[in-house]
Structure 1
Amino acid sequence: MRLASVTVDGVRRGGVVDGGSITLLTHTVDDVVRGAPIVRTEVVELADVRLESPLHRFNRDVLCTGWNYWDHFEESAGKREGQDPTSRPLRPTFFTKGPDTVIGPFDPIAYDPSLSQKWDYEAEIAMVIGRDGRSIPEQKALDHVFGFLVANDVSQRDLQRAHGGQWLKGKSLDATMPLGPWLTTTDSVDLSEMRVQCEVNGVLLQDASSTQMAFSFAQIIAELSEGMTLRAGDVVLTGTPSGVGNARDPQVFLRDGDVVVTRVSGLGELRNTVTLTDLGGR
């Protein structure tokens, strides 16, 4: 099942996407993730509505996993401006990004060159927690996942390096993380392999399989939840593969007008245009 968010007559509604139509629900996707029943109402054509981010109500920051594809870890060696780890991490690397980063699958990506000159793309698979849990065993971890989405963890590399090696600031500028296009429930996802891709202006820059992940979806949940409660509605990003702009030679960074397409097989596609935006309040 694919759950999307749309606004109809000024009211945000959840909906079930089926082909070229969407069946509206009485509750939002945020409500359904937290246990509200799926009550179907009228059917409208997808062409007549605009898909928004499936989720709008966040319990906290978006939870993220870094360095979860070894090819990405290795491609950035020597390019982290003195912040390279001495070896591959033995356990998942976690960080967070602010929820105000989240935008919809077709919304503009905010771009303010006065804040950063190094805007980078990162195609990712995102998980959404559907059942609360703490210290969740790995073998039961996927029982706590409601579904999966496509995300792009757009990052500002110079900000990422400028604050003591902590990634929060360089990952948290407003309106920079596309999410969607819908939330695909776990029972509708082939977890054996998903293709993760990112194109910029029609050029394929990232192309990998989820089988290349260093730590599986279940391992991420088990490790993250150890002693820490995960709650229904939490969003967990699972890392990006190789091909990021900062690691290329020459480097490739996003600029005003660039069209970024992020897709994951079985989950859908995001299409966002980088758009000059005043984020500094000038």
Structure 2
Amino acid sequence: MKFVTIQTNNENHLGVKTDRGILNVTAAARSGKGSSLPVTVHELIEGGAAARQAIESLVREAESDSAAWLNADSVVYGPCVTRPEKLICVGLNYRKHAEETNAKIPEYPILFNKFNNTLTGHGHDVELPITSKEVDYEAELAIVIGRPTKHVSEEEALDYVFGYCVVNDLSARDLQLRTNQWMLGKVCDGFSPLGPELVTADEISDPNNLRISCHVNGEQRQNSNTSDMIFNCKQIISYLSRHLTLKPGDVILTGTPEGVVLGYPPEKRVYLQPGDVVTVSIEKLGSITNKMVAEKV
């Protein structure tokens, strides 16, 4: 299944995307079609199999109710996961990206964190901070955890995944590289466009064999496959779970392939500017597009 966040009047509502369009689950629940339905993405994830089954039943029951369906093009999208407890990121996790930046291939996953202020949805403008002149794009696969995960083996790790989605790990390189800690360059407002769709794990047979790309103003900048990851999805989940408990709704950003601005020779680096439109796409997961604008102060 494919789930989205519908934004209406500054509120987030759960939606289900099908070939027909998008079903507003919140509206269906309020109209009496299912008072026990999960009406947020986090209720859905935390509700486990029972919540999924309730949504599946709702979709079947609402098939003939034209008022319950929205046109996908008319929806204002929020981030497909709205309030994760943790946003954990893996740096330098594609071999060719490490090579293009002249970085040593890491022996262990390089980890850093983002916060909920970085989350935004498909179609929203992203303000380029006035404190940075070097904002870069990063196409990434995001893993969304489905149940509490601690000390899980690599063999079982993917069983703990609720789903996958597309994310743009926007990075202010001048802030990121100011110190040895990358956080400042990663946590600016809107720096994690996430979605539009959260695709459940049963639809993705192998998350480490998906085409991934990024376009800026229609020009392809990144074109790779998640098979180039140094640490694959099950390795990342298992490694993290040995050190901390992963909670339902936690989001893991798995790294970016080659083609980022930072990988170019210094004299050829052209960082994102106001008016630039960035689209990140992953096979089977869709595309997220955001326009860069100047920060309002």
Report the TM-score when normalising by structure 1. Answer: 0.90
Is residue 2:232 matched to residue 1:206? no
C-alpha contact 1:6 1:51 (8 A) present in aligned 2: yes
Seq. identity, %: 35
AA aligned to 1:107 is H
Residue in 2 that maps onto 1:181: 196
AA aligned to 2:100 is E
Deviation at 1:89, TM superposition (A): 1.2
Query: Partners in 2 of 1:56 and 1:31 — Cα distance?
Result: 11
Is residue 2:107 matched to residue 1:90? yes
AA aligned to 1:4 is V
Pair 16,252 (structure 1): closer, same or farther in 2 beyond 3 Å: same
Is residue 2:292 matched to residue 1:277? no
Is residue 2:13 matched to residue 1:13? yes
Residue aligned with 2:262, SS: helix
Name whichever of 215-224 and 29-38 sits farther off. 29-38
C-alpha contact 1:5 1:51 (8 A) present in aligned 2: yes
Query: Partners in 1 of 2:74 and 2:191 — Cα distance?
Result: 25
C-alpha contact 1:110 1:277 (8 A) present in aligned 2: yes
1:1-282 residue pairs with structure 2 within 5 A? 1-8=1-8, 11-25=11-25, 26=29, 27-35=39-47, 37=51, 38-39=54-55, 40=58, 42-60=68-86, 62-77=87-102, 87-112=104-129, 114-163=130-179, 165-191=180-206, 193-249=209-265, 250-278=268-296, 282=297
C-alpha contact 2:214 2:223 (8 A) present in aligned 1: yes
Residue ranges of structure 2 left out of the alignment (5+ in a row): 30-38, 63-67
Residue in 2 that maps onto 1:80: none
Residue aligned with 2:77, SS: coil
Pair 8,169 (structure 1): closer, same or farther in 2 beyond 3 Å: closer
Query: Partners in 2 of 1:28 and 1:161 — Cα distance?
Result: 37
AA aligned to 2:188 is L
Report Cα offsets for 1:9-33 as digits up to 9, x if no partner.
7653211101251122241112111
AA aligned to 2:172 is Q
Deviation at 1:217, TM superposition (A): 0.3
Residue aligned with 2:47, SS: coil
Deviation at 1:97, TM superposition (A): 1.2
Residue aligned with 1:35, SS: helix
What is the Cα-based RMSD across aligned positions, in Å?
1.6
C-alpha contact 2:8 2:76 (8 A) present in aligned 1: no
**Bigger share in helix:** 2
Pair 10,118 (structure 1): closer, same or farther in 2 beyond 3 Å: closer
Pair 246,227 (structure 1): closer, same or farther in 2 beyond 3 Å: closer
Aligned length: 268
Name whichever of 37-46 and 264-273 sits farther off. 37-46
C-alpha contact 1:190 1:266 (8 A) present in aligned 2: no
Residue in 1 that maps onto 2:33: none
AA aligned to 1:167 is W
Deviation at 1:45, TM superposition (A): 2.2
Deviation at 1:54, TM superposition (A): 1.1
Deviation at 1:225, TM superposition (A): 0.9
**Bigger share in strand:** 1
Residue aligned with 1:169, SS: helix
Deviation at 1:252, TM superposition (A): 2.4
Residue aligned with 1:181, SS: coil
AA aligned to 2:295 is T
Query: Partners in 2 of 1:215 and 1:227 — Cα distance?
Result: 16
Query: Partners in 2 of 1:9 and 1:246 — Cα distance?
Result: 38
C-alpha contact 2:144 2:250 (8 A) present in aligned 1: yes
Residue ranges of structure 1 left out of the alignment (5+ in a row): 78-83
